[in-house]
Amino acid sequence: MSENVPLEKIDDFRWRIPKSYKPGMRVPGLIYADEKLLKDIYQDKALEQVANVAFLPGIVNYSLAMPDIHWGYGFPIGGVAATDIAAGGVVSPGGVGFDINCGVRMVKTNLMFDDIKDKIKDLVYALFSRIPTGVGSKGDIRVSEKEEKEILVKGSKWAVSKGYGVAEDLEYTEDNGAIEGTDPDAVSERAYERGRAQSGTLGSGNHFLEVQVIDQLFDSRLCDEFGLTLGQVALMIHSGSRGLGYQICEDYLKNMVACLQKYNISVPDRQLACAPVNSPEGQTYLSAMRCAANYAWANRQCLMHLARLVFEEVFATSWQKLGMQLIYDVAHNIAKIETYIIDGKEKKLCVHRKGATRSLPPGHPALPSKYKNTGQPVIIPGDMGRNSYLLVGAEKAQETFYSTCHGAGRVKSRTLSTRTTNLNALLKELESKGIIVKASGRETIVEEAPQAYKDVNDVVSIVHNAAIAKRVCRMRPVGVIKG
């Protein structure tokens, strides 16, 4: 459906949509893919959306798309756009999405596959019964209105102060699990109401908690630095800001549709509604968005805490003894103010990552000291039947405003996946591969079937070969819980 969009080959992994494609594009589009992935990418309207994002006032260099790009609403999923704040650059709530700071964290253990192979079912069932999943699920972690405000400011720090984790966890979370510049008064009553009962809940759709086993090492030096080896058991958690984030996006999107006229901004899709970063509307959105981002970090921190407790129960020893250290937590739906050198000048940019992960290279000042030599851990979840990856950021990612892919990327719609997938056959197939799945609804499993996704191995090989991230190791799932 994007066959009319012209693509110029730059090299084997980079393709340009020329600025001349649509009058109004301020910069060209740049897509990271190879010919194989492009076949999938052409199937939907994602390339058109890359061109549409290029209309945003102040956009710098390119409207970027990662190899897991697919059709979203407004921005493509897998899209990155940076705007120059001093040049009237805008912030667009659609460039972050409804699930603000949807993200993923990876926890290592010192268990080996042999230690858990007879307990996977128990582990999965225990995780499923302990971790609230599903639509509108409510958690055991109940907070008062005052405490909820505290979460929006302190993020993961709030969770750690309540005993849901340790100080070290904060060091290994993007922005230490609490981005600054929040304003809890910019968050509507309704958003508070929707968020209150959902702290420490996984949610539904593509969110998951997986028990994984490392099945391939790509860089032994980096694996040694992370303390990871073949056969080692790890945990991955994918969740976001739940109803609170959706409500903040909705409240501000509505507001920004009116800004289009006020600031005389022309975009081809109302879902790209935006306002200058340096406007009251832009500033208030960013401060509310940061509240949701902190809520999401606190949420993943609580989920990890619950998972640690389950491991303690199943293995009858403390999580510390099980070596359950957080490797890293990354956001993949967020807008951040970051500084870059553009044409020789230092500029403050508003970097939108809509289904894209930050990918800081070794030596970057924002890295914790432990990762100064390795680069930032980049966690890439795949589908429930294939693999997930640990990568690290790379210097070349400067061209993507230090961003890389965020997952496998859908290729089949949920309805098509549901029509073409037989639940029992799928569960059998997964079980034959040694994967135990437990979900709140059968619909989620068939919607999220592996064949609905691109092969994450193909996606990761592009970002590795284009050198915007570097492969460390690969995991395969053995236990999956979903909403």
Residues designated catalytic: 406
If binding is defined by CB under 8 A, does position 258 make contact with another protein? yes
Alpha carbon separation from 15 to 38, 39, 407, 437, 469 (Å, rounded): 10, 13, 20, 38, 18
Per CB under 8 A, the segment of 21-29, 346-354, 358-366, 412-420 that binds another protein is 412-420
Provide the minimum distance between the beta carbon of 47 and another protein in the complex, in angstroms, as a whole number: 12
Of the residues 70, 149, 354, 406, which one makes contact with another protein according to CB under 8 A = 70
Q: Interface with another protein includes 262 (CB under 8 A)?
A: no
Nearer to another protein, 74 or 377 (CB): 74
347 forms part of the interface with another protein (CB under 8 A): no
The number of angstroms, rounded, from the C-alpha of 334 to the middle of its chain's C-alpha atoms is: 9
Q: Is the dihedral of CA 338, 369, 153, 379 positive or negative?
A: positive
| Residues 203-222: x where in contact with another protein by CB under 8 A, - otherwise, as a string | xxx-----------------
Binding of another protein by 410 (CB under 8 A):
yes
Out of 89, 132, 243, 375, the residue judged to bind another protein by CB under 8 A? 243
Q: Is 383 in the site for another protein (CB under 8 A)?
A: no
Burial 35-65, CB ≥16 within 10 A → b, else e: eebbebbbebbbbbbbbbbbbbbbbbbbbbb
Q: Which C-beta is closer to another protein: that of 368 or that of 441? A: 441
- Residue choice 84, 99, 281, 329 for contact with another protein (CB under 8 A): 99
d(CA 390, CA 378): 6
Rounded to a whole number of angstroms, the minimum distance from the CB of residue 439 to another protein is 12
Q: How far is the CB of 197 from another protein (least distance, A)?
A: 9
| Nearest distance in Å: CB 445, another protein | 12
In the bound state with another protein, the residue whose beta carbon lies nearer, of 9 and 39, is: 39
Q: How many other C-beta atoms can be found within 10 angstroms of the C-beta atom of residue 254?
A: 11
- Residue 174 or 447: the one with the smaller Cβ distance to another protein is 447
Residue 254 in the binding site for another protein (CB under 8 A): yes
> Is residue 72 at the binding interface for another protein, with CB under 8 A as the rule?
yes
Strands 29-32 and 63-70: parallel
**71 interacts with another protein by CB under 8 A:** yes
Q: Does an H or E element contain 418, and which?
A: helix 414-420
Torsional sign, CA 395, 67, 286, 368: negative
Distance between CA atoms of residues 391 and 396, nearest Å:
14
Nearest alpha-carbon partner for 239 in 127, 132, 106, 104: 104
Of the candidates 280, 338, 302, the one whose C-alpha atom is nearest the C-alpha of residue 80 is 338
- The nearer residue to another protein, 148 or 175, going by C-beta atoms, is 148
Q: How many CB atoms lie within 10 A of CB 203?
A: 26
- Total residues binding another protein (CB under 8 A): 47
Q: Answer yes or no: are the C-beta atoms of 252 and 134 closer than 8 Å.
A: no
| Both structure tokens of 439 | 């979900």
Q: Check residue 74 for interaction with another protein (CB under 8 A).
A: yes
Q: Which two tokens stand for residue 465?
A: 């070969």
For tokens 């990761």, name the residue: 460
Cα 325 to its chain centre, rounded Å, is 20
Which residue number, 135 or 423, has a Cβ lying nearer to another protein? Answer: 135
Angstrom distance (rounded) from CA 93 to CA 252: 7
Residues 43-62 that bind another protein (CB under 8 A): 43-44, 46
| Alpha-carbon torsion angle 246, 247, 250, 253, nearest 10 | -100
Cβ neighbourhood burial of 350 (10 Å; 0-12, 13-18, 19+): buried
Q: For another protein, give the closer residue by CB, 136 or 184.
A: 136
Show the binding pattern over residues 158-197: x = contacts another protein (CB under 8 A), - = does not: --------------------------------x--xx---
**Residue of the chain from 9, 121, 262, 270 that contacts another protein (CB under 8 A):** 270
Q: Does 22 bind another protein (CB under 8 A)?
A: no
458 belongs to the binding site for another protein (CB under 8 A): no
Q: Does 265 bind another protein (CB under 8 A)?
A: no
Distance CA 405, CA 431 (A): 29
Token output for 314: 């199943």
Whole-number minimum distance, CB 467 to another protein, in Å?
27
Contact between 34 and another protein (CB under 8 A)? no
User: CA 331 to CA 345: how far, in whole Å?
Assistant: 28
273 binds another protein (CB under 8 A): yes
Q: Which of 120, 249, 296, 356 binds another protein (CB under 8 A)?
A: 249
Interface residues with another protein (CB under 8 A) are 43-44, 46, 70-74, 77, 94, 97-99, 134-136, 190, 193-194, 203-205, 243, 246-247, 249-250, 253-254, 257-258, 269-271, 273, 410-416, 441, 443-444, 447, 483
